[in-house]
Structure 1
Amino acid sequence: MQRIVSLALLAVLVGGGWTALKGISPQSVQQAVQKVGAAVGPVLAQQGQVQATPTNNPGGQTFGGYVSQQTSGSPLFAPAPTVSAPPSIRIASFNIQVFGDKKASKPYVMRALAQVVRSFDVIAIQEIRTQDDNFIPKFLRDYVNVNAATGVYDARVSDRLGRTNSTEQYAYLFNTATVEVHPNFCAVVPDPQDRLHREPYAALFRTRVVAPYTPFTFTLINIHTDPDEVPQELDALYYVYQQVQRSPIDGAVEDDVILLGDLNTEVPAASRYTPNEYQRRIAPSDFGLLARIPGIAPLIRNQATNARGTRLYDNLLIPSLQTVEYLDSGVMDLRSELGYQLTLEQVLEISDHLPVWGKFSAIEGGSYRSASR
């Protein structure tokens, strides 16, 4: 978000990030900056749309070591639409266990997955396992976009990644009516020291809003850690996060960097269906070096994210002082939130993980709030 808001926040809050684990929730951060937002909102409103920024690198722009083929003077994003977007968006992450040909052979599973996708404006997918290059386009065509009343979804899919023959792909699926992806900056983040089994997949997005409002821009880092190397990979993600956070895009650095995915944090948790006497809140020590990033905060604190309701594996991590657009978060209950009741066995056909999500203002700086809050 805008630096003016970040500086004001520093004046309002001393600490942040992991201090939220000591009784200060992200909602408290949101409440604390309402006065700041009221003061800064008119300034943001006067800024209007983000303008195209010409590049001075005719050979392409560097994004964490990835060189895009952007031509000099090309626009940052496509033109804004002529209608207003909803006041908020939902960003999700979902490890769809072995998402490939076997699941595609079960239309009822694919229909359920399409319902999940349509519940969010952007959803980061992990564990795509197929050799079919058209797998995700066909999923969108045959299931997700069959009901296009709320918008047509598009996708960006990574290369196949992994050290063994069992490779995986990441994907971002997003509602083109409410969100757009940067045309050039969607890339696998290089890992030259081979510290990660699967390199993360990063992309820059912005909401589709019209003047006088400024779109909320944000970078997502999609990751699926190796369950056998979690401590080492969480430490490696500390460097990945900093690499992405410091990488200029069209001459500017995006400070709303959200790391999301299946982190395989072995935190005992519980659900409404499964009590767990060992459940606890997630702690900085569960993230290794990642916890040292200033202000970093997980949105899921004490809810199970696996289908069996016993572990907190998945999360979204935000820079809490910068991302004042944050409004709410949760874990999607696949047993009851698809419009019909499912058994655990039926949910496990969909995935052994549950979608996790965060809700954000569609306006940079959060200058107005969702009517539901």
Structure 2
Amino acid sequence: MQRIVSLGLLAALVGGGWTALQNVGPQQLQQAVQSVRTTVGPMLAQQPGQQQSAPQPAPTTPQQNPYAGGYNYTPVGGAAQFAPPPVVQEPPSIRIASFNIQVFGDAKAEKPYVMRALAHIVKSFDVIAIQEIRTQDTNFIPRFLRDYVNVGVTSGGYDSRVSPRLGRTSSKEQYAFIFNTATIEVHPRFCAVVPDPEDRLHREPFAALFKTRIVPPYTPFTFTLINIHTDPDEVPEELDALYYVYDQVRRSQIDGGVEDDVILLGDLNTPVPAASRWTPDAEQRSITPRDLGLLGTIPNIAPLIRREATNTRGTRLYDNILIPRQNTVEYLDHGVMDLRSTYQLSEEQVLEISDHLPVWGKFSAIEGGPYQSASR
């Protein structure tokens, strides 16, 4: 749900129901009634006491039923009825993903088959948060988009926003948001590293404000993404610190009248035993609030990935997408992209791509879209 006024994104969501009789005028109705009379008239004209012949089954296919064309007429049990309206199609939606591309840098760039696979993965989503970019090349992500993701695209395509190199040591990393410009628009000013003045985090998170591209009269779904990669050696401390990060971003967004769909996603390194179709594990369990430390105490916070393994070896639930379930009513579905079955690869081949798997959430592209509980 959105509270944007100053950004000029608020529009009236116009809808309207329809009934099965909406397109049937008086003349059509009279013709349908006359059709019924033609069908059942001889039976009603029988004299009292005259034995009725067995009723003939009504034609049911368009080729046999002279009333099927144009009147939506379906004989059921000898009575005329209008067929139910067609199933309403799902509203336009987007997929938001997170992917730790293990040591995404020069060594992977020297393997074109890996880069092509990564490009295909990126194009499976409307916006994807990338972690663990390790390179000194400031044009690494733009070149990846140019040479692999947007090959053959003459205009538009995918664009990116990349963070500065972050980290306490000489081994620094960058975050990136890569998004489809046909479906997603990034706010021109709200895209920045979240301040961490007390140095609680090895790498400060990277946040950006997005909205969907949707035609009027619908209101676009707007949302803020916080991209994070926790330090595996300091997971409990950093999960506690993310409580303050999330609260800081949420308050600045809501109190400023900007946005209340604040979504945190990335590699949290939560040590939750998990399993996959390739690696069963009797110790597999669901993630709990305790696994998220103070971050898990935020009211109504909901991790979309609950039990599935998110590492390539299928043993741990490291990666996740956390949404405020009472605010983000646009949520529709979620999953973990199994690269082995999706691309018919071996575990060793997938490990060349990454030791993590992409996790994703599906959301209505329309603000205030249909709600499904994130607890499923």
Classify the TM-score, shorter chain: 0.7 to 0.9
2:292 alignment counterpart: 287
What SS class does the counterpart of residue 13 from structure 2 fall into?
helix
Distance verdict in 2 for CA 1:235–1:134, change over 3 Å: same
C-alpha distance in structure 1 between counterparts of 2:233 and 2:256, whole Å: 38
* Rg (Cα) greater in structure: 2
User: If the length of structure 2 is used for normalisation, what is the TM-score?
Assistant: 0.75
User: If the length of structure 1 is used for normalisation, what is the TM-score?
Assistant: 0.75
Q: Does 1:152 align with 2:165?
A: no
1:45 alignment counterpart: 14
Q: Does 1:166 align with 2:195?
A: no
One-letter code aligned to 2:236:
P
1:336 alignment counterpart: 341
The C-alpha deviation readout for 1:124-182, integer Å capped at 9, x for no partner, is: 00000000000000000000001549960000000000000000000000000000000
* Structure 1 contact 262–315 (Cα < 8 Å) conserved: yes
Alignment of 1:168-317 (within 5 A): 168-248=173-253, 251-317=256-322
Q: Does 1:111 align with 2:80?
A: no
C-alpha distance in structure 1 between counterparts of 2:359 and 2:277, whole Å: 16
What SS class does the counterpart of residue 339 from structure 2 fall into?
coil
Match of 1:127 among 127, 132, 143: 132
Q: Which runs of 4+ in 1 moved over 6 A?
A: none
* Structure 1 contact 87–368 (Cα < 8 Å) conserved: no
2:352 alignment counterpart: 349
C-alpha distance in structure 1 between counterparts of 2:152 and 2:338, whole Å: 22
Two-structure CA RMSD over aligned residues (Å)? 2.1
* Structure 2 contact 162–175 (Cα < 8 Å) conserved: yes
C-alpha distance in structure 2 between counterparts of 1:126 and 1:118, whole Å: 17
| Unpaired segments ≥5 residues, structure 2 | 4-10, 16-90
1:66 alignment counterpart: none
The Cα shift of 1:336 comes to 1.9
The Cα shift of 1:263 comes to 0.1
The C-alpha deviation readout for 1:304-358, integer Å capped at 9, x for no partner, is: 00000000000000000000100000000111213xx100000000000000000
C-alpha distance in structure 2 between counterparts of 1:119 and 1:148, whole Å: 16
What SS class does the counterpart of residue 279 from structure 1 fall into?
coil
Distance verdict in 2 for CA 1:368–1:212, change over 3 Å: farther
* Structure 1 contact 245–253 (Cα < 8 Å) conserved: no
Distance verdict in 2 for CA 1:167–1:294, change over 3 Å: same
C-alpha distance in structure 2 between counterparts of 1:248 and 1:330, whole Å: 27
* Structure 1 contact 126–223 (Cα < 8 Å) conserved: yes
| Unpaired segments ≥5 residues, structure 1 | 4-41, 47-85
Q: Among all aligned residue pairs of Structure 1 and Structure 2, give the percentage whose two residues are the same amino acid.
A: 79
Match of 1:94 among 91, 96, 99: 99
C-alpha distance in structure 2 between counterparts of 1:255 and 1:112, whole Å: 35
One-letter code aligned to 1:181:
V
One-letter code aligned to 1:349:
E
C-alpha distance in structure 2 between counterparts of 1:151 and 1:302, whole Å: 37
2:19 alignment counterpart: none
Q: Which moved more, 1:142-151 or 1:191-200?
A: 142-151
Q: Which has the higher contact order (CA 8 A, sep 6+)?
A: 1
- Aligned residue pairs total 291
C-alpha distance in structure 1 between counterparts of 2:255 and 2:144, whole Å: 33
